[in-house]
Amino acid sequence: MHTLLLTGPGGAGRTTMAAATALAAARSGQRVLVLSGDPGDPLGALLGPAAGPAEDVAPGLPAHPVAADGNPRLWVARIDSGQDFRTELTALQDRATAALNLLGARPLGEEELTELPGAEQFALLRALRRARSATTGFDLVVVDMPPLHQAIAALALPAQLRRYLARLVPAERQAARALRPVLAQLAGVPMPAQWLYEAAERWDRELAAVQAVVESADTSVQLVAEPGPAAAEALRLGRLGLALHGLAVGPVLANRLVPAGSAEPWLAGLAAQQDKYTSQWPDHRPLPHLGRDPRGPEDLALLDPGPVTVPARPHWPVEDRRAEDGVLVWTVPLPGAEKRELDLIRRGDDLLLTAGPHRRIVPLPSALRRCTVSGAALADGVLRIRFTPDPGLWPTR
């Protein structure tokens, strides 16, 4: 099963291209599931009405079959982030009843809860994890992600939260939870910390499952953009963030291209501008402007996104140059990066790497933990970080 995450600058046509990609794959004979967290039903307007009642394609993931062009190979699942938030928070309250009672807290009723910022991304990621465990045998899962900057933050979230949990509720302290039921019986009161350790374990398992899907070799990102100066900068920063987090990126879908050679000066000028920017995107697929907002499978058929490919994930190799220069070099591909945007800090066994508006804390490979950072250089979109072996930690030959 391949998972394709569609994102791009706001207003670039992400939902339209998610629908077009899913429909084209279904017409080629694949079984396709589309996930969307958008309010309303924009996919319904593009793919047509549901062809039957919702069915659980995976535990907790209902989806409607869509018979666009009479094709029974397409399902759509719309994620209700508000309901997902209420369900999760109510379940958390139920599990923490003993601790809340001890504190004299008054639980919130489900009807009192309204979703918080970020709930949509959480719900979409959980749905993605459920989709990958589907037993209905999908060949492709297409995810209509939020705009580019939000999408990158959401995809980085599972790994970040797992790191926070490991620091705030370390595994070695969780071992003490086995004694807590005994202590609770002796004291005659519930131990409020017990549920915290249990909740941390449960969250870590859930986050690890989502992280595994995001980092899978079968998961890739497809960028959608309407060529222009704003989109060019957004794509540069977006590609930089995706590379920093080690995500595989396919060709850019250059959307809403107007035909060249028009007699209208303003249209010819727009075509020239679009050609200027698409020429800077060597790996792109041109898609025409229909002169109207696409509506229905007939319009989607005019937007051919091409076959879904599985690009390779970025590789960060460590080059041993001790014989020549006495150093090891960690090679980090950061396409589009500029020197002024980069910063790196060594902290223990981690490297805090900043690239533009994006930041990632990366565990050092084992060999580099016994070294000190001795320099770094950026050239042709590749950051090379030099590490000098620490004589006190590096074994002598």
Summarised one tens digit per residue, pLDDT across range 236-286 is 999 999 999 999 999 999 999 988 877 788 888 888 998 999 998 878 999
CA distance 308 to 343: 35
Closest CA to 3 of 153, 138, 111, 201: 138
Summarised one tens digit per residue, pLDDT across range 137-182 is 789 999 999 999 999 999 998 898 888 888 777 765 544 555 455 4
Structure token pair of residue 153: 């933050």
CA distance 311 to 332: 17
CA distance 300 to 42: 13
Which residue matches tokens 């050609």? 275
At 104 the pLDDT is 64
At 227 the pLDDT is 93
DSSP bridge partners of 361: 352
Mean pLDDT estimate for the chain: 83
Q: Reduced to 3 DSSP states, what percent helix, strand and coil does the chain have, rounded to the nearest 5?
A: 40, 25, 35
At 136 the pLDDT is 64
Q: Is 233 helix (H, G, I), strand (E, B) or coil?
A: helix
DSSP bridge partners of 318: 330
With 60 as the cut, is the pLDDT of residue 187 above it? Answer: no
At 120 the pLDDT is 81
Structure token pair of residue 101: 């009672």
Summarised one tens digit per residue, pLDDT across range 42-90 is 887 888 877 778 888 888 888 888 876 666 688 888 887 667 667 776 7
CA distance 31 to 53: 18
Q: Is the dihedral of CA 211, 15, 47, 25 positive or negative?
A: negative
Which residue matches tokens 């928070």? 89
CATH class for the domain made up of 318-389: mainly beta
Summarised one tens digit per residue, pLDDT across range 99-148 is 556 556 667 676 766 766 777 888 888 888 888 876 567 899 999 999 99
Report yes or no: 303 and 287 within 8 Å, Cβ to Cβ: yes
Closest CA to 83 of 31, 39, 128, 52: 39
Summarised one tens digit per residue, pLDDT across range 313-368 is 889 999 999 989 889 999 999 999 999 999 999 999 999 999 999 999 999 999 99
Count Cα atoms within 13 angstroms, Cβ side, for 64. Answer: 16
CA distance 189 to 172: 24
Which residue matches tokens 């930041």? 359
Report yes or no: 34 and 75 within 8 Å, Cβ to Cβ: yes
- The domain locations on the chain are 2-300, 318-389
Residue 189 confidence class, pLDDT cut points 50, 70, 90: very low
Q: Is 269 helix (H, G, I), strand (E, B) or coil?
A: helix
At 396 the pLDDT is 64
Strands 55-58 and 61-66: antiparallel
Summarised one tens digit per residue, pLDDT across range 276-316 is 999 988 789 999 998 888 888 888 888 888 888 888 888 99
Q: Kindly state the average pLDDT of the residues 213-236.
A: 92
At 16 the pLDDT is 93
Do domains 2-300 and 318-389 share one topology? The answer is no
At 183 the pLDDT is 44
Closest CA to 374 of 388, 389, 391: 388
CA distance 74 to 64: 9
Structure token pair of residue 362: 């990366």
Give the DSSP letter of residue 249. B
At 48 the pLDDT is 80
User: Which CATH number, 3.20.20.140, 1.20.140.10, 3.40.50.300, 3.30.930.10, labels domain 2-300?
Assistant: 3.40.50.300
DSSP bridge partners of 392: none
With 60 as the cut, is the pLDDT of residue 91 above it? Answer: yes
CA distance 295 to 16: 9
Identify the weakest region by mean pLDDT among 22-26, 120-124, 345-349, 373-377.
120-124
Count Cα atoms within 13 angstroms, Cβ side, for 97. Answer: 4
Structure token pair of residue 138: 């999908």
- Percentage of residues in the chain having pLDDT higher than 90: 38
